[in-house]
Amino acid sequence: MGYGRKIFNWIVLSALALALVLELPVRAHAHGEGGDVIVKDIVLEHIGDSYEWHIGKFVGKHVAIPLPVIVCSRENGWKCFSSSHLHGGHSYEGFHIATEGAYAGKVVETLPDGSQVRPWDLSITKTVAGLLINSTIVVLLILGAARHYRKRRITDSAPMGLAGLVEMLVESLVDGIIKPCVGPNYRKFAPYLLTAFTFIFINNIMGIIPIFPAGTNITGNIAATFVLAMATFLVTNLFGTRHYWKEVLWPEVPTWLKVPLPIMPAIEIIGLFTKPFALMIRLFANIMAGHSVILILICIVFVTARMGATVNTSMSIVSILLGIFMNCMELLVAFLQAYVFTMLSSVFIGMAQEGAGHHEKKNDIDNLTTKR
Question: Residue 89 Cβ, how far from other proteins at the closest point, in Å?
Answer: 19
Instruction: Rounding to the nearest 10 degrees, give the CA dihedral for residues 72, 77, 80, 83.
Output: -50
Name the β-bridge partners of 65: 53
Residue 14, CA distances (Å) to 20, 22, 228, 321 in order: 10, 12, 39, 10
Cβ proximity to other proteins: between 135 and 369 the closer is 135
Contact status: 369 vs other proteins (CB under 8 A): no
CA dihedral 321, 324, 325, 327 (to 10 degrees): 160
Which one-letter DSSP state was computed for residue 214? S
Question: What minimum distance in Å lies between the beta carbon of 363 and other proteins?
Answer: 28
Question: Angle at the Cα of 233 (from 227 to 237), degrees rounded to 5?
Answer: 150
Does residue number 372 form part of the binding site for other proteins (CB under 8 A)?
A: no
Contact between 166 and other proteins per CB under 8 A: yes
Q: Which of residues 72-131 bind other proteins (CB under 8 A)?
A: 104-105, 120-125, 127-128, 131
CB atoms within 10 A of CB 76: 12
User: Rounded CA gap, 321 and 301, in Å?
Assistant: 12
Of 170 and 329, nearer to other proteins (C-beta) is 170
Stretch that binds other proteins, among 88-96, 141-149, 204-212, 239-247 (CB under 8 A): 141-149
Task: Find the shortest distance in angstroms from Cβ 103 to other proteins.
Answer: 10
Asked if 132 is part of the footprint of other proteins (rule: CB under 8 A), the reply reads yes
Which of 164, 153, 193 is CA-nearest to residue 176? 193
Summarize as ranges the residues that interact with other proteins (CB under 8 A): 47-49, 70, 104-105, 120-125, 127-128, 131-132, 135, 138-139, 142-143, 145-146, 149-150, 152, 154-155, 158, 166-167, 170-171, 174, 187, 190-192, 194-195, 198-199, 221-224, 226-228, 231, 288
